[in-house]
Amino acid sequence: MHCSGAGRRTRLACGRGPPEEVDHLLPTMMLAARLSRPLSQLPGRTLSVCDRKNGTRHSLLFCSASWTPKGHRAYASEVNPAGSKAVLITGCDSGFGFSLAKHLHSKGFIVFAGCLLKDKGDDGVKELDSLNSEHLRTVQLNVCSPEQVEKAVETVRSSLKDPEKGLWGLINNAGISTFGEVEFTTMETYKEVAEVNLWGTVRTTKSFLPLLRRAKGRVVNISSMLGRMANPARSPYCITKFGVEAFSDCLRYEMYPLGVKVSVVEPGNFIAATSLYSPERIQAIAAKMWDELPEVVRKDYGRKYFDEKIAKMETYCNSGSTDTSPVIDAVTHALTAATPYTRYHPMDYYWWLRMQIMTHLPGAVSDMIYIH
């Protein structure tokens, strides 16, 4: 089967003849891949589809004879200079926040780097402070603490040369992650993750909005591809990131007439780059999880099933990209572009295609490909 797109021919090859019901899905699946980019720009990827009649699975391979690797996404070139614009970033102790603080400082921004562990002398805080720059200042900031958030607002306001000109940018980056199937996850865990990822984002945004409105500035919320598509064993995290997406949309509508632009960055898999999980951390979470399980859940699922799920989670420790620059570039564009995008998708093409299928096609189709 061949299709033509952007002057190129793209081939869909199947290892075995798919069942009739799968054959009917092929045009729809190909359409999903072409929603905003031609298939000729996608690397070869295998999708597995289940035949419900006999329980067998069939592999569908998207491949292109003329595909060539592409670099990072090229954003619109019309940008505004940083000048003396000030931004506040949450979660700068490590990961994306730490990298963003250094990068935006190098671009000329005045950076207020909110750090959870500043009062404990964390290594990341020490490295940022060691730059000895009047344009980069670390700030004690736990987004779960209303008192610390309000104190951070006062710190920023008093540090601005002209507070009436406001704060140009807020990057809500602070977040935590965990794993566990629904019956394995306590309500305390759900609340803990939501308090940081969702309510921390809402709390910090509400507190800084008066300064952002004065500058007609930018709000950039770090969500996730898991804020657009759910995944087994990640419900505590997915719930919060879906919430960040909804909050960002509502805020964007409300801020538009006031001149404040709101963008969402949805990173793909960057576990390896951010050291989000390690075997030791996974085992610690698993031990606590098993100890807290109700007896009926332990008995019904059994230790073998539980251990298999934990072992699968451990395989993700070194997965994903080791290069955070796509995320850094996306945030930078959202802060500097004359017309920033509503959503940024720094992820590889496998996850991008999967997200398009899971968000644009009927659930029965995406379930057949990825879940069943």
Structure tokens at 299: 């008995």
DSSP state of 16: S
Across 192-225, b (16+ Cβ under 10 Å) vs e yields ebbebbbbbbebbbebbbebbebbebbbbbbbbb
Alpha helices by DSSP H, the chain: 20-23, 26-33, 95-106, 123-129, 146-159, 187-197, 199-215, 235-255, 271-274, 279-292, 295-314, 325-336, 349-360, 363-366
- Name the residue among 57, 38, 31, 35 with its Cα closest to residue 46: 57
Output the CA torsion sign for 333, 334, 335, 339.
positive
Active site residue 237: yes
Which residue has tokens 């993750």?
Answer: 193
Q: Kindly name the residue from 190, 237, 305, 344 that is annotated as catalytic.
A: 237
Q: At what angle do helices 187-197 and 199-215 cross, to 10 degrees?
A: 10
| Beta strand pairing call for 169-172 and 86-89 | parallel
Residues identified as active-site: 237
